[in-house]
Chains A and B, each alone.
Chain A
Amino acid sequence: MVLILASILLPLDYSRERSDSYEHYVSNWEDVGISNVVASILTDWRAYDTLGETVVLFTAVYGVYILLRGKRKEKEGEDGGEKG
C-alpha cells in the first residue's frame, strides 16, 4: 500500500504555486484596521470559514454528547433526571 502511494505521490510537483490571496492579505491589511493579521484573516476576511469551523466543532461535541449520554453505569441510576 505504502509503495503504491509512494509511486503515485512522490513524482508530483510540490513547488509552491503562486496564489494571489496571500499577496492580497499582506498588501492591504490596513483597511480592516486590525493589527493582528492572523485574527483579521480568521474573523474578518474569512469569517465564513470560521463560522464553518465553529459549527463543525459544535456538532462534533453534540454528537459525542448524544452518543454517550445513554451509557450510564447502573450505580449512577438515581440522577437520570439530569439527562433531559
Chain B
Amino acid sequence: MRMSSIVRNSSRLVSPFLVAYGAYLIIHGHISPGGGFQGGVILSVSVILLITSHGYKAVRKAFSVRLVKIVESMSALLIIMISLIGLIFGTYFFNFLRGGEPGTLFSGGTVVLLNILIGLEIGAAFTLLFYVLLRWTESD
C-alpha cells in the first residue's frame, strides 16, 4: 500500500519549503510573530509529511533516530549553556548579546539564539515522538 507517485513527489517538493518557513519563523521570532515554539513544530511537520508520504522506513534512513536524539539533547544542552554564560555577565539568563535598535535582526541578542535552540529542540522532540509512535504501524 504505497502512496501514489503524485503524492510522493509533491510532498518531496513541499517539505523543503516547510523547512524554510519554519526556519523563517524561528529566526524572525523576535521581530515578526513566531518564535521558537511555532517554528519548531513546523520543522517537525515537514519531516512528518515525508513520513506519511514515503513511509516510515524510507524516512528513517534519511533522519535516523540517533540523529534526532542527538539534535534534541544537544540543543537542550546549549540552552542551559546560554543561561549559564549569562550568569558570568550578571544575573541568570542575562541578555549579554544586546544588539542594534529594536527593528533589526540582531536586536534580540540571546533571544535569537534561544529561539533557534528552542525551535530545534521542539522540532526534534516531535519528530522523535512521531518515530516512536509510528514504530508499530510498519505499514509502509
Chain A contacts with B in 31-58, Cβ cutoff 8 A: 32-36, 38-40, 42-44, 47-48, 50-51, 54-55, 57-58
Q: Which residues of A contact B122 (CB under 8 A)?
A: 54, 57
Q: Which residues of A contact B114 (CB under 8 A)?
A: 43, 47, 50
Q: Which residues of B contact A30 (CB under 8 A)?
A: 102
**A35/B83 contact (C-beta < 8 A), A43-B115, A44-B95, A54-B118 known:** no
**A64/B118 contact (C-beta < 8 A), A33-B99, A34-B102, A38-B33 known:** no
A43 touches B31 (CB 8 A): no
Q: Which residues of B contact A76 (CB under 8 A)?
A: 135, 138
Does B10 reach chain A (CB closer than 8 Å)? Answer: no
Q: Which residues of B contact A34 (CB under 8 A)?
A: 30-31, 102, 107-108, 111
Q: Which residues of B contact A64 (CB under 8 A)?
A: 129, 132-133
* Binding stretch for chain A, among B1-9, B12-20, B46-54, B72-80: B72-80
Complex Cα gap A13–B122 (Å): 38
Does A68 reach chain B (CB closer than 8 Å)? Answer: yes
Closest to A37 in B: B30
Closest to B118 in A: A54
B136 touches A40 (CB 8 A): no
A54 touches B121 (CB 8 A): yes
Q: Which residues of B contact A68 (CB under 8 A)?
A: 132-133, 135
Q: Which residues of B contact A16 (CB under 8 A)?
A: none
Q: Mark B57-73, 1 if CB is under 8 A from A, else 0.
A: 00000001100000011
Does B92 reach chain A (CB closer than 8 Å)? Answer: yes
Interface residues, chain A, with chain B CB atoms under 8 Å away: 30, 32-36, 38-40, 42-44, 47-48, 50-51, 54-55, 57-58, 61, 64-65, 68-69, 71-73, 75-76, 82
